[in-house]
A and B are shown apart, each in its own frame.
Chain A
């Protein structure tokens, strides 16, 4: 007779148990374990015990959180993907591929020609937890999200690699009023793309595909999206009933083969009494005693605003609105700056409704002797709110916060604001903002992260934070990005940390992330003496305490920490002479509809959201340039080096006759963005047919997305897959992207390398883009600094094959270099022209300092146009770096990459000129920039300049870029006023 076998699967969020006898499943159950791994598992086993009595079972454990339990109890362990593989072999032997999504892991198994099993890397979204996060963001349940996704009409591009990135895409969509149904479906599409791109990595998913795991069992919309994207027939897309329990089932098979029969009661006992073997690194408890906590609370209570009563107030009131990414805040103050009214709440994807109802609320409470003296709005939704309700002033966030902080501590020299999505830090010197640091898309250990985590563990954020206050052994969870913290928590769970310890640990992580990653401070003294902390996250005493601990001194947290933006805006509104804010009656009749349209102004085809207000007015958002909203534009005529360069490169015309029936394709990517004139003229002169790939768009990226082997490489490299595929489509016979470890020698740096990715990406393409085998993929190793050597190489490549005489090659190479020099000269000349234009017209110059390929519209997301619309004359690093007067800058790092050494010189040029500012464009994943950003910042700050960094990736959210640039402008204005 068959004996019982028991499989236990403990994942990141749930525990699952399967009891089996022969092929028959007798019992299966799953439950969220909320971090209490041992207790929950024992409970589940107890249930089995009650139903079946004290039977003898063979048992095995699987799952990422099960690893620890197995070590502690000696119950055998089987890796989850492997366990799943066993199930499929038995149940669906003809399956060709298995896709499983779990809480935090995504897996894929290929059969046929040797089993190939893969799991997501350390930095990957697109899992169950990701979907949970997105549902939270949309303020709906996961079920509702699923339901909505089925009613979608259109899809938006959403970055899929990482949850934090996706959030950055989703948030503006919501703020701009996109339909939630469409967003829901777009989220699913992102998950599907992530799974295919991140795990299949070029391997085709076809034949019979099995879908396993919780999310794929419950979510119909997700199933549909997978089926559709993979173009699977009904027979080939299998969603089995045991989908959720596949791993536990697999563990039971494994148990059958390897485990000794044990009494169930004994097993349960063993698990219940399991002692964690080791504890992850610990940190000091936040508070040693209740008294300490009371003292701490009393101290912070001192920083409070006076509260007044709106009802019955006589005189002028000032209204401040802070329309943030996830929350909307309002503050109304009296002429004496008393807080008369405040509001703090989630904007639930529709800030307009919230602001309208709150304003009505305020009008309702106003006595006849009171009137609105002024109003101001700040934050992500600033323009939308300003346009909708005729708010008097728009204030840059930084200025709003500084205004409020100054109220509490006039001598404030450092402000740290941790909000739902953003971390903002301002350094103040001589009464003006001296430095601004904002978090990157990929480091948001912010409020919403804590909240999502609390919910995942089954708590409300307030309760969750309280738990941590008196934790005895807070765990050290690291300070990297959210995704990494998730896995640290998993590790802590494995080690048996309690919820209290995890809560306290998370608070510390948020703080460390802010200090070391965002502010990049080495010591507390670097921050300043008078530190004001604010933002909703600092209501959380655990976070506040952890911050003071890390700094080693006390800071000021105003009692209105979460309202500071709105309060500052209200203070700012006191400057208004006569308010034009929409009155009560008009407000009552105010209606709003959002419609999404595709702009046809240019080839970008931006997804625009047209917000129509009942009064016939409208506000357009989502635009990259000023075209669709031309009435407030006019900046389109300003010089823009990015545009000039693009025009030059895309306008290259051949001038020699084509006498060879062989088409060479040049992908306009990476290094070719600078060397195009060289290669183009070379092949033109040699008489080849030529095709240059166009400036990228999202479609090109998607065309090659599934052949990318390394997810964390930079976007400019990843986009190249699409370019070569496009050139193959166009019928090129050969594709040319040479390997150039050594770049052009600009002289004056320690060496002139390319970064490894620019230098060798062709090697990767050759190995991963199968279609390339259909053409001649030409990627010779060349030295472009030695004409003689280059001539030799080019001759050996093309001479014999196309019967080109050596002399022709020599002339062609010389000709090519002339053309290349002409291009460089053109760029420099245009740079100088732009500068004199700016000076003549008293405009600020902005060096958008990146690398040649950053001018690609898809890579820089038209940031140049955005900067122009803000009134900057935009120049590129390579158009001005030659103008730096000081030749020896004293770079403190090894200055050995051509492109990057231009950054240092451009920064020096900015330092030497009052009217020139520099913004550094950094591609996510650029390892070299971990070095250059610190150095460029050092050069600028030593020279008394502000440093602004814009981190870009496939994400297209310009909101945060705009805030950075506007903060820069705001800070510059303040500085000028001080002078």
Chain B
């Protein structure tokens, strides 16, 4: 049936003249990646349109019961094509596809359907996927590029984490944000020129940590709030109505687990498929190698912040897989799957007991791994303070913020209590 799915491949000619549009999810990560690929000849641009009409446009072209991320991404793409800023005949779109039993695997198809309806059926859509579902001769990544791509994710995760750990305490407002942007811009240019050695990455990371340490900060204590959820609404400020900013404005410190874990999770799922169901017999050893490689790098990377001592550092992935015991099986691998539950436990391990669990309204895997795990999480960890927030084209900011404020009120009270106890 696959061959009936006609799609326009992104060919080598297109690479020379086309602009590739990237939906907006993680500004710093995506900025790094597009700059890196840019130096290999890809003309890429991350979309920044956040106007309320994005969702409106999405609703016009996608079934309204489809998940919110699909509505936003497709809306953002079509709006960009209609904006007049780009020549639709010289534009391609790129989207990352996870694959698996979640309906998110259908985004690419829904996007193509929507393009057809909107009269842009000629616009090529590049699907970037671990499963390598489609062929695009003009968009092939070399091993070097893939490794660099992962490095960009390392950098992005680090910058995001440090920025959030400094911003709530900075004395001169905006310092952390400014520094993050400056580092991103600088690194983006350099990544492609640097060698592939990981020691170079580590050196850069140490420099980044040093720079963030130099920002003057106050002594105040802030409530730490973890953010977990469906990958798009967790990360994208378009998807979560500026959740990170809102938390910062409320004086809280947002703790957002990084993107790397999600990649490790995807690889891990392949291994689990073999372990539980005897699938992937051929590729299994390859995934094990990839997993071990990434895990090893992650551990070295974590050690950097840990050894420095100033900043809080994430938990390594293998540890996370252990935390989940007694809650949910790692066989749950659709959408964010078990990782969603695990991230909440990981946050708790790190002392972050207040959590926003962000999900698109009606998200299927979230019934199981998000809302479905609240009771066991709370039963075993009564001090956890979790709020589940639904994001949707029809849901309003005031409702969402009101619920988050409730969580914050409890968080502040708990913090005060702790402080009193410490004082005694």
- Which residues of A approach B to under 8 Å, CB–CB? 64-65, 67-68, 77-82, 113-117, 119, 121-123, 201-203, 281, 476, 478-481, 484-485, 487-488, 490-491, 494, 512, 516-517, 520, 522-523, 709-710, 712-713, 717, 739, 741-742, 748-751, 753-757, 759-761, 763-764, 767-768, 781-783, 786, 788-789, 888-897, 925, 927-931, 933-934
Contacts and interface: CB of A to CB of B under 8 A. Distances in A.
B109 A892 contact: yes
A122 B1 contact: no
B396 A491 contact: yes
A113 B102 contact: no
B279 A783 contact: yes
B288 interface: no
19 contacts: A67-B401, A79-B402, A79-B406, A117-B410, A121-B388, A203-B375, A490-B399, A491-B397, A709-B367, A739-B332, A755-B103, A760-B365, A761-B368, A763-B329, A767-B376, A768-B375, A788-B278, A931-B110, A934-B63
B126 to A, nearest CB: 16
Nearest to A112: B382
Contact of A67 (B51, B108, B402): B402
Interface string B330-344: 011111000000000
A494 B408 CA distance: 20
A934 B409 CA distance: 44
Given A123-B361, A753-B101, A783-B279, A82 B410 contact: yes
Given A121-B388, A481-B394, A896-B101, A516 B276 contact: no
Given A80-B402, A516-B60, A760-B368, 13 more contacts: A121-B390, A122-B392, A281-B52, A479-B394, A480-B64, A742-B277, A750-B1, A768-B372, A888-B1, A889-B1, A892-B112, A892-B113, A927-B103
B393 interface: yes
Contacts of B361: 122-123, 712
Contacts of B46: none
A833 to B, nearest CB: 29
B150 interface: no
A418 to B, nearest CB: 17
B371 interface: yes
B65 A927 contact: yes
Contact of A487 (B65, B118, B396, B405): B396
Given A122-B361, A892-B5, A931-B63, A757 B398 contact: no
A476 B390 contact: no
A516 B64 contact: yes
The 10 A-B pairs with the shortest beta carbon distances in the complex, nearest first, are A480-B394, A484-B394, A764-B372, A753-B101, A783-B277, A930-B65, A890-B4, A82-B409, A767-B376, A281-B52
A203 B376 CA distance: 11
B42 interface: no
B394 A478 contact: yes
B103 A930 contact: yes
Contacts of B108: 894
B117 A522 contact: yes
Given A763-B332, A890-B1, A64 B402 contact: yes
B68 to A, nearest CB: 11
Contacts of B406: 79, 81-82, 117, 119
A759 B292 CA distance: 28
B63 A894 contact: no
Contacts of A481: 394
A173 B408 CA distance: 44
B385 to A, nearest CB: 8
B399 A717 contact: no
B371 A755 contact: no
| Residue among A80, A479, A786, A897 facing the most chain B CB atoms (10 A cut-off) | A479
Given A121-B390, A709-B375, A897-B101, A750 B2 contact: yes
Contacts of A741: 101, 277, 331, 333-334
B367 A764 contact: yes
B282 to A, nearest CB: 15
Given A741-B333, A755-B101, A767 B328 contact: yes
Nearest to A743: B101
A760 B332 contact: yes
B394 A781 contact: no
A927 B105 contact: no
A882 to B, nearest CB: 16
B334 A760 contact: yes
A750 B2 CA distance: 7
Nearest to B327: A767
Interface residues of B, number: 78
A816 B258 CA distance: 46
Given A742-B277, A767-B327, A893 B60 contact: no
B375 A202 contact: yes
B392 A480 contact: yes
A78 B108 CA distance: 44
Contacts of B327: 767
B363 interface: yes
Interface in B346-400: 361-376, 378, 382-383, 388, 390, 392-399
B398 A487 contact: yes
B32 interface: no
B278 A781 contact: no
Given A480-B64, A741-B333, A888-B4, A894 B106 contact: yes
A520 B65 CA distance: 11
Contacts of A894: 105-106, 108-109
Contacts of B321: none
A767 B324 CA distance: 13
B403 interface: yes
B277 A933 contact: no
Nearest to A64: B402
Contacts of B51: 281
A123 to B, nearest CB: 7
A760 B396 CA distance: 30
Interface in B43-93: 51-53, 56, 59-61, 63-67
Given A739-B331, A889-B1, A927 B364 contact: yes
A763 B328 contact: yes
B404 to A, nearest CB: 9
Nearest to B365: A756
Contact of B105 (A203, A480, A896): A896
A756 B368 contact: yes
Nearest to B389: A122
A476 B403 CA distance: 23
A522 B66 CA distance: 15
Contacts of A203: 375
A710 B367 contact: yes
Contacts of B396: 484, 487-488, 490-491
A122 B335 CA distance: 22
B371 A709 contact: yes
A77 B403 CA distance: 14
Given A281-B52, A481-B394, A115 B410 contact: yes
Contacts of B393: 478-480
A119 B388 CA distance: 10
Nearest to B370: A710
A544 B388 CA distance: 39
Nearest to B334: A756
A759 B364 CA distance: 11
B277 A786 contact: yes
A782 B273 CA distance: 10
Nearest to B105: A894
Contacts of A893: 106, 109-110, 113
| Residue among A65, A79, A713, A748 facing the most chain B CB atoms (10 A cut-off) | A79
Nearest to B396: A491
Contacts of A783: 276-279
Contacts of B100: 753
Contact of A517 (B64, B383, B395, B405): B64
Contact of A78 (B53, B117, B409): B409
Interface in B128-149: none
Nearest to B100: A753
Given A479-B59, A756-B335, A763-B329, A484 B395 contact: yes
